[in-house]
Chains A and B, each alone.
Chain A
Amino acid sequence: MMLLEHHAKELLAAAGVAVPHGVLVTAADDGETALTLPPPFMAKAQVPVGGRGKAGGILKVKTATDSAPLIAKILGMTIRNHPVRSCRLEALVDYVAEAYFSLAFDANEGSIKILVAAEGGVEIESEEMRAKLLRASAVPDPVATTAALETLIPALPVALQWPIRELGSRLIPLFFEKEALLIEINPLFITRNGWVAGDAKVLTDDNALPRQAEMRGLIERFPDLYPEAALKLAQGFDFVQLDPQGDIGLVTTGAGLSMQLVDEIVQRGHRPFNFCDIRTGGFKGDPSRLIQVLKWVASGPNVRSVLMNFFAGSTNLAELVPLILQALEAVPELRQPITLRMTGNGLDAARKILEGSGNPIHVETDLERAIDRALAAAGSAAHG
């Protein structure tokens, strides 16, 4: 999970990393929070993707009169398909230089990668920046990582050596304790008498949540800001709303096949409302997951057709279909036509159960035909 900048900075601050003073505001805020920070300050959209500045999501608030309208403007934005649900207000930093520092892993080498540069603030992906990066790698433990960082220090300008060493001494233990996948400080501001993290990107491991109580706590406190992670944590499956205006609702299992279905529907000019990996293996005879997903799909204002896809490799369709019928009964507001594609274990028995139920749900065994039918049921391709 990509932490929002505000939470990343709180995590860093608790580990002894200097960050500018800042507060978080959401749409639900009554405006009192903003008053705790006297202008001028920066208002920064909190989204889990880069490019906020270019998208207009970082604004300078110069006067108290500007404050409310500028914050409202940011909270009304959508940046790279992410609705801005919160905004960090942050004190300005008076700096003399910028630098770059990151810790990540190399999936191929199985190592920890350290990147440092005597410049910051710009896109790390640029060719120009890549050439200036100092790199070191280490086996995945804090001692080796600290030693690897030391090898880079002499190559840095003298004014950066102490700040980078200090920053490293705080970030390296944090990286391992919190099981981070990425910690990036860009820019690291060098001030007249110290250093401060200007921006912070922290990617944590959802798989480590069972043993990372603090991360679990964060998600539980801010379920609205981390809706996908909150759902996964509470209910053990994935549901991502892709397009609030989408015309096709998806009730599907398997991450890869579900992603591919989304792709193929988009290619055919339709707009999937959601991505979903419902994980039939976790049902254990209980329809509640299906009910939840059907409710969400039914809530899509433009959803005109629902496609369910179940390839029963190890599950049994004869056990699944009764749960689908129970779920449909529990969500009467779902009136859109449903195409159920199923194939695999227990198909014949599952068909008999459906026929006996009298439910008019349309069954296909072939995925192509099921997609064709679900899209035809939605009418002409959605535009806009």
Chain B
Amino acid sequence: MVEPFIKADVPVLVQGATGRSGRSQTAQMVAYGTNIVAGVSRRDDPEAKLPLFRTCTEAVKATGARASVAFVPPLDVLPAILEAIDAGIELIVTVAEGMPVHDALKARAATREAGMRWVGASTPGLAIPGSLKMGFLPNVSLAPGSLGVMSKSGTLSYEVCYRLVERGFGQTLWVGVGGDAVKGVRFADLVPVFAADPATQGIVVVGEIGGNEEEELAAALLASGCTKPVFALLAGRSALEGVTMGHAGALIQENVGTIETKTTALRAAGAEVSQTIKDLVEAVTATLGHTL
């Protein structure tokens, strides 16, 4: 079980539940089976189908919510995180694109001090297929299965998982850590979760240029002694140095965060690094096909 990280039936509250996207995404998370117990908003919403509260603390007291997913604008993410910490929330997912890095630095410091797990800054969220979805990972790419998935890019991971699902490979847990430079949960933090989970038979990593998260992941894999097969795809081989390619974290500078440093580190840790989506799907099929 991936329970040390997230429980399939954890009671979840939604911060920003009455906004345009908060409202529609909440409905979809509920439809997926997520145990959404409360919404938090400064505004009333006569059409709300959930109990609405003004603050996280009130929502937690009344409903016993343990996790939160925040649909708030980028400049409101830090206050939302601090509010969730005060309420004793254990895990928060933040989805807004464009959280300022200096805010993310403060959020990282505060969540670590409080012992709260933070998935964000900007991420499509996480899912235990068939049971729980916090965020908006697309249903077509989700299926219960045996792969632990960690991804920086939303769209690339949708495509990868969609094609793996077509081949019969679903997921135990999929965590989109996001493409920001400064974030909460990083690739390396998920190694112990997937290593300890008996249902997870392989790990899929959707990484990209910039930063040193893949290098950190490689070190964590080596240190953990995890023997599960690891399949990685790294985007941005042809990116232009000095220019932001869509993701704030995907800015390569000089020799830091290049595909070469990441590929070398991951291969040294025993991971299979593919250059194309097709090769990654083939690699998973070749290694784990007998488990289907």
Q: Which residues of B contact A267 (CB under 8 A)?
A: 237, 275-276
A384 within 8 A of B: no
User: Would you give the 0/1 interface string for B182-213, flagging 1 where the beta carbon is closer than 8 Å to chain A?
Assistant: 11001000000000000000000010110111
Q: Are A48 and B138 in contact (CB under 8 A)?
A: no
Closest chain B residue to A1, Cβ basis: B244
Which single member of A81, A112, A179, A275 contacts B241 (CB below 8 Å)?
A: A81
B248 within 8 A of A: yes
Query: How close is A373's CB to chain B, nearest CB, in angstroms?
Result: 15
Q: Are B155 and A256 in contact (CB under 8 A)?
A: yes
Among the listed stretches B40-48, B60-68, B156-164, B263-271, which one makes contact with chain A, having 4 or more residues with CB under 8 Å of it? Answer: B156-164
A254 within 8 A of B: yes
Query: How close is A182's CB to chain B, nearest CB, in angstroms?
Result: 8
Q: For residues 67 through 104 of chain B, which have their beta carbon under 8 Å from a beta carbon of chain A?
A: 74-75, 98-102
Q: Are B254 and A125 in contact (CB under 8 A)?
A: yes
Q: Are A205 and B242 in contact (CB under 8 A)?
A: no
CA distance A140 to B182 in the complex (A): 12
Which single member of A176, A242, A314 contacts B136 (CB below 8 Å)?
A: A314
Closest chain B residue to A175, Cβ basis: B102
Q: Which residues of A contact B154 (CB under 8 A)?
A: 254, 256, 313
Q: Which residues of B contact A264 (CB under 8 A)?
A: 275-277
User: Would you give the 0/1 interface string for A245-259, flagging 1 where the beta carbon is closer than 8 Å to chain B?
Assistant: 000000001111111
Q: For residues 203 through 245 of chain B, which have their beta carbon under 8 Å from a beta carbon of chain A?
A: 206, 208-209, 211-213, 216, 233, 235-245
A238 within 8 A of B: yes
Q: Are A80 and B241 in contact (CB under 8 A)?
A: yes
CA distance A255 to B102 in the complex (A): 22
Q: Are B102 and A238 in contact (CB under 8 A)?
A: no
Among the listed stretches A66-74, A207-215, A332-340, which one makes contact with chain B, having 4 or more residues with CB under 8 Å of it? Answer: A207-215
Q: Are A208 and B182 in contact (CB under 8 A)?
A: no
Among the listed stretches B31-39, B51-59, B105-113, B283-291, which one makes contact with chain A, having 4 or more residues with CB under 8 Å of it? Answer: B105-113
A327 within 8 A of B: no
Q: Tally of A-B residue pairs with Cβ under 8 A?
A: 188
Q: Are B153 and A255 in contact (CB under 8 A)?
A: yes
Closest chain B residue to A366, Cβ basis: B163
Which single member of A82, A107, A258 contacts B211 (CB below 8 Å)?
A: A107
Closest chain B residue to A267, Cβ basis: B275
CA distance A105 to B105 in the complex (A): 8
CA distance A259 to B137 in the complex (A): 19
Q: Which residues of A contact B159 (CB under 8 A)?
A: 257, 260, 311, 367
CA distance A240 to B240 in the complex (A): 9
B181 within 8 A of A: yes
Q: Are B244 and A313 in contact (CB under 8 A)?
A: no
Q: Using known A-B contacts A107-B182, A313-B141, determine if residue A205 contacts B100 with beta carbons closer than 8 Å.
A: yes
Q: Which residues of A contact B208 (CB under 8 A)?
A: 256, 259
Q: Using known A-B contacts A257-B153, A367-B277, A368-B278, determine if residue A179 contacts B101 with beta carbons closer than 8 Å.
A: yes
Q: Are B238 and A110 in contact (CB under 8 A)?
A: no
Which single member of B136, B250, B254, B276 contacts A255 (CB below 8 Å)?
A: B250
B23 within 8 A of A: no
Q: Which residues of B contact A49 (CB under 8 A)?
A: 241-242
Which single member of B105, B211, B243 contacts A110 (CB below 8 Å)?
A: B105
CA distance A263 to B275 in the complex (A): 8
Which single member of B138, B155, B278 contacts A258 (CB below 8 Å)?
A: B155
Q: Which residues of A contact B179 (CB under 8 A)?
A: 255-256
B140 within 8 A of A: yes
Q: Are A259 and B182 in contact (CB under 8 A)?
A: no
- If A50-B254, A275-B240 are given as contacts, then 7 extra A-B residue pairs at C-beta distance below 8 Å, sorted by A number, are A207-B74, A232-B244, A256-B153, A256-B156, A263-B237, A264-B277, A313-B137
